[in-house]
A and B are shown apart, each in its own frame.
Chain A
Amino acid sequence: MSREVMEYDVVIVGGGPSGLSTAIKLKQLNPDINVCLLEKASEIGAHILSGNVFETRALDELFPNWKELKAPIETKVSKEKFLFLGKEKSISWPTWLLPKVQQNHNNYIISLANLCRWLGEQAENLGVEIFPGFPASEILYNEDGSVKGVATQDMGIDKEGNKKDSFEPGIELQAKVTVFAEGCRGHLGKELINKFELSKDKDPQQYGIGFKEIWEINENNHEEGLVMHTAGWPLDNNTYGGSFVYHAKNKQVYLGYVIGLDYQNPYLSPFDEFQRFKTHPAIKKMLEGGKRISYGARALIEGGIQSLPKMYMPGALLVGCDAGTLNMPKIKGSHTAMKSGMIAAETINNHLKDNENLSTYEKLFKQSWVYKELHEARNVKPSFNWGLIIGILFTGIDQILFRGKLPFTLKHKHADHETLKTANEMPKIEYPKPDNVITFDKTSSVYLTGTNHVDNQPVHLKLKDAELPIKYNLEKYDEPAQRYCPAGVYEVQHENNLPKFVINSQNCIHCKTCDIKEPSQNITWVTPEGGGGPKYGNM
């Protein structure tokens, strides 16, 4: 069946910081370039989740007058703390002893979702055509193999794949250059990385899963502008992760936890580790009398420069964390994502104007401050393979004494899906039951995300082998999907004493963790019908 075709100079897939910055910069360079941006969420910002302590460097370049334009960036960081947590105690690490990358006094505590909403408005004012609720579900190729554009998802298909009355076919968006800005583990980005072998000679990508809750807390416990990070309990020495606690305005606290997806114990439940973290006396005291108002989770990139794929291919570019530009030791990726988009825009502008090859993207990227900071940061994450304590010692030497200039680069050895040990080798973890005051279960948490997928649509979490979860994973790993999914999508139920694997795809909050961590890479995340997924507010 032939689909309707629309042609643009540039089509951008994804309305996060990188995609929006690409669109804005393109229009700033040449208002005549016609730019279309697709977003799978029901509106810009509704699938954005981030800490977020924001470094304004890229935004200062994109909109030097962002203050006048009323960007939602208000709470300047006024105080910083770093705590090592033991089970009951905590030790405060002096901030002057923190590496420079972890000092935040020039940064702001923001909601990245709201910043994206604002960037979306700026982009529309510049003439970018933004289409929320339209996921790009398919890559189109020219006969010579170059990328021709994308197709949007068909709407109104039932579970069995039949057309419903409301069926609306997807359309083809063809472009001179297509920019993929889907964020961490974008499902089209993944296809491109494989097809064009963009990760050849690179280390395997490293990921983490990040949780975030917004709390409204008691005035007496609130200190607007305070940024706190913790390491240690409840994770053991061999699991990479830590928390963030950002005191925003209106008595709100952005509270979150990040765990490296290279963890080894299949019994580990990142969600429950986060819940347990909140019961530490230092944290619980702050939350008591408060109320949780939001919840969400999203996978993030931790691999850095060693794992960064080639970001250009015929007809297309990867920007932001669809490639992997997050700076892990800095715990920040928004400014680097934005800058990568702006560099992509310059490349595209030169390409359209003077037919310059898209490979100049790499050249410009390497000359930019993003590359410099990712290069300096490169050895931190891999050093934690030696455990938390040695990792911290090494990081001190690498970041404080040598400022990232040590003459070698540590490697990431394994992909995250290869790191699980079998269930019988690892200890079971008993997590405390939620008290529904400080800690909660997954169901009530997902409820806060406003997640919905139109029922009677095909399951968007595809199993390559439908038998594998029960026949292989259950015995070998006690089916870890039950635990690594932060939204309770995967369950092993028992029917007539036989285990059965159930996928509650309507709960999916689009974090992509299953696509990353499944030991046999058996789960593929694809786009559900447009507008589905969470409806995050101020995340």
Chain B
Amino acid sequence: MKILVAVKRVIDYNVQVRVKEDNTGVVTDNVKMSTNPPDDNAVEEAVKIKESGKAKEIVAITVGEEKAQETVRKALAVGADRGIHVKVDGVIEPLAVSKILQKIVDKEKPDLVFMGKQAIDDDCNQTGQMLAALLNWPQATFASKIEVKDKTLEVTREVDEGLETIEVNVPAIITCDLRLNEPRYASLPNIMKAKKKPIEQINALDLGIDTKPRIDQIKVEEPPKRKAGIKVANVEELVQKLKNEAKVI
């Protein structure tokens, strides 16, 4: 089996994101960037499957600017075999990423495509689903457990009501939840070795994909500040305030 894992470079989850003063987006200059956290889970799962002998090759792919390559390098350092970087500058939306991934799937012919369930920057949660539609492949989203069977996968999904277990035929798209596993650390010698693994660079234009955004972003704003709470003296006051001020009862 061959697994393609898609990873995205996003602002690190510990960074306090700040909106640009002209409301055109968020500040990214000299901000610490990392791999989208659930994408790390996707890579880890692929590596685990390979270690169990059920997969032969793992190809890590990212779509984005030059520096997005760092995320592929990181995937290579924890066990992916080779990388692909599809270069696109500027804003890129899930639909364009899905179309690019479709082209790469046509070329690479993987049995499985793994990725995070959503990216923590735009929170779209669309790429996996759109890719499944474009390829007409089955999908299992929000995976928190994956069992590889003969020609199928048994996937446990995190859904609102609890856990749902489904079986999907291979080839399939799997989007991964944070509960799926605990990503390993890249060891120093493996980071060294990863520097020598190949990363193929492809220009999005050469794939014939128009990556122009389809959505007009009007403005980006910080969420309104929460008002400070107040202490009420007794139940009567609480009821009165809920009724007259908050108007919820």
Residue ranges of A at the interface with B (Cβ–Cβ < 8 Å): 4, 6, 42-43, 45-46, 111, 113-114, 117, 129, 131, 134, 152, 155-156, 164-166, 168, 171, 216, 293, 447-448, 450-452, 530, 535, 537-538
Contact = CB atoms under 8 A, between A and B. Distances in A.
A134 B30 contact: no
Given A46-B32, A117-B30, A537-B32, A6 B12 contact: no
Interface stretch (B94-102, B150-158, B171-179, B180-188): B180-188
Interface in B8-51: 12, 14-16, 18, 21, 29-32, 34
A4 B14 contact: no
B191 interface: yes
Contacts of B184: 166, 168
A358 to B, nearest CB: 26
Nearest to A156: B185
Given A43-B32, A114-B30, A537-B30, A171 B188 contact: yes
28 contacts: A4-B187, A4-B189, A6-B189, A6-B192, A42-B34, A45-B30, A46-B32, A111-B30, A129-B192, A134-B188, A155-B185, A164-B182, A166-B183, A166-B184, A168-B184, A168-B185, A168-B187, A171-B187, A216-B21, A293-B18, A450-B14, A450-B16, A452-B14, A535-B12, A535-B15, A535-B32, A537-B15, A537-B32
Contact of B188 (A6, A43, A117, A538): A6
B32 A166 contact: no
Top-8 shortest CB links A-B: A452-B14, A168-B185, A155-B185, A450-B14, A535-B32, A450-B15, A537-B30, A538-B30
A77 B116 CA distance: 47
A42 B32 contact: yes
Contacts of B31: 537
A447 B182 CA distance: 25
A131 B185 contact: no
Contact of A171 (B14, B15, B18, B189): B189
A113 B189 CA distance: 27
Interface residues of B, number: 20
A447 B34 CA distance: 19
A216 B34 CA distance: 26
Nearest to B190: A168
Contact of B191 (A113, A131, A156, A216): A131
Contacts of B188: 6, 131, 134, 152, 171
A41 to B, nearest CB: 9
Residue among B14, B34, B184, B192 with most chain A CB within 10 A: B14
A134 B30 CA distance: 20
B121 to A, nearest CB: 15
Given A117-B30, A166-B185, A447-B16, 18 more contacts: A6-B188, A42-B32, A45-B30, A46-B32, A111-B30, A129-B192, A131-B191, A152-B188, A155-B185, A166-B184, A171-B187, A171-B189, A451-B14, A530-B185, A535-B14, A535-B32, A537-B15, A537-B32
Nearest to B187: A168
Contacts of A46: 32
Residue among A45, A131, A451, A535 with most chain B CB within 10 A: A535
B182 A166 contact: yes
A530 B32 CA distance: 15
Given A6-B189, A129-B192, A448 B16 contact: yes
Contacts of A293: 18
B12 A450 contact: yes
Contacts of A450: 12, 14-16, 32
A42 B186 CA distance: 13
B189 to A, nearest CB: 6
A266 B189 CA distance: 47
Residue among B29, B30, B184, B189 with most chain A CB within 10 A: B30
A171 to B, nearest CB: 5
Contacts of B15: 450, 535, 537
Contacts of B191: 131
A165 B16 contact: no
Nearest to A216: B21
Contacts of A42: 12, 32, 34
A313 to B, nearest CB: 25
Nearest to A539: B30
A131 B21 CA distance: 34
B10 to A, nearest CB: 14
B162 to A, nearest CB: 25
Contacts of A168: 184-185, 187
A350 to B, nearest CB: 28
A164 B188 CA distance: 18
A4 B193 CA distance: 14
Nearest to B17: A450
A74 to B, nearest CB: 13
A117 B188 CA distance: 20
A475 B24 CA distance: 54
B94 to A, nearest CB: 27
A165 B30 CA distance: 33
A349 B48 CA distance: 45
